[in-house]
A and B are shown apart, each in its own frame.
Chain A
Amino acid sequence: MNKERKENNEFKDEFISEIIEKGRYSISNEDFEDQILQKIHTNVNDKEEIISKIKLSLKFFCLGLVLIFVCLLGLILRDSLSDQNTNVLTYVLVLFFTTALGILSIENYKRVINNYSF
């Protein structure tokens, strides 16, 4: 700490300080703050719109996934009830891969939504 203070004191210079102080700038544009805030609001609104669209897309994706599950389960049930066991393994495999794909896609959706939100 002392070393740091010593290091800084080494460069103390009233003359240079005065020059730098006198040459100080300030932003003359009075609307500067408003302009930035407006830009930020636009940015936030755009993000919100994108998020709402992504969420809608996610809903449809989930709906599609549920439909696939229902169809596959229906087929498995039908085949098992009618003693046609030939395709059950295929259905289970398809069900497994669809589930894995679904989970991965939903995770991806989450990541995208997180990127667009605070």
Chain B
Amino acid sequence: MDNIYIDKVLSGDVDAFRYFVKTYKDMGFNLAVSIIKDEQYAEEIVQDAFMKAFKGLKSFKRTAKFKSWFYRIVVNEAFQRLRSNKKAPQLSYLEDSNEKLLEYLTEDVHGERTEKIRSVLKMLPPKEGLVLNLFYLEETSIKDISKITGWTRSNTKVILHRARKHTRLIWQKNIKNHE
């Protein structure tokens, strides 16, 4: 399906690009949030990623999936923004995460479970948040995650293992007490 729309865009039907925006915007957004931890920045990142994808569509090699290629652009863009933008929220993680999480939970501004879960996920380091989203939300294989992130397979597995452990730890220590 993606290839049909790629051909359409390349033949000059610019509006056909809407298909890609519609299909991948939310997952792209999830990946960007998992890295940058800020919805507003994440939206900008996804926009920039779509523009880059559009401009680079001509050079896209059909041997890879469009999805993986686009997610790679989002991931690179987000990490680049994380490195360069000092204003972006730089959360420090596990060592002080419990304290921060408690703060989030006791504030309980939205009073919704989803918000609490999101707060927990925002406590994870960018790489761990990213790998969890790719593996559990998008059901991407370890092999494809390695391609998207540029990490080795063993490194991906280590990060994924650590991410699961950290998520459980934060969840068990904090969320359960507040329910």
Interface residues of A (CB under 8 A from B): 4, 7-8, 11, 13, 15-17, 19-27, 29, 32-33, 35-37, 39-41, 43-44, 118
Contact = CB atoms under 8 A, between A and B. Distances in A.
Contact of B164 (A11, A33, A40): A11
5 contacts: A8-B141, A33-B21, A40-B14, A43-B51, A118-B11
Interface residues of B, number: 48
Contact of A20 (B51, B121, B143, B168): B121
B33 interface: yes
Closest 4 CB pairs of A and B: A23-B117, A20-B136, A26-B26, A17-B136
Interface of A is mostly: helix
B50 interface: yes
Interface of B is mostly: helix
Given A11-B164, A36-B50, A22 B22 contact: no
Given A19-B167, A27-B26, 19 more contacts: A4-B141, A4-B143, A11-B135, A11-B161, A15-B168, A19-B120, A19-B171, A20-B137, A24-B26, A24-B30, A25-B42, A32-B21, A33-B25, A36-B21, A36-B47, A37-B14, A40-B14, A118-B12, A118-B57
A115 to B, nearest CB: 10
A72 to B, nearest CB: 40
B88 interface: no
Contacts of B55: 43
A1 to B, nearest CB: 11
B21 A11 contact: no
A17 B168 CA distance: 12
A26 B39 CA distance: 10
Contact of B136 (A13, A26, A43, A44): A13
Contact of B51 (A19, A32, A36): A36
B58 A118 contact: yes
Contacts of B137: 20-21, 24
B65 interface: no
A37 B51 CA distance: 9
Interface in B131-179: 132-133, 135-137, 141-143, 153, 157, 160-161, 164, 167-168, 171
A40 B51 contact: yes
A4 B142 contact: yes
A46 B168 CA distance: 51
Interface string B100-137: 00000000000001100110110000000000110111
A23 B129 CA distance: 11
Contacts of A39: 47, 51
Contacts of B33: 25
B62 interface: no
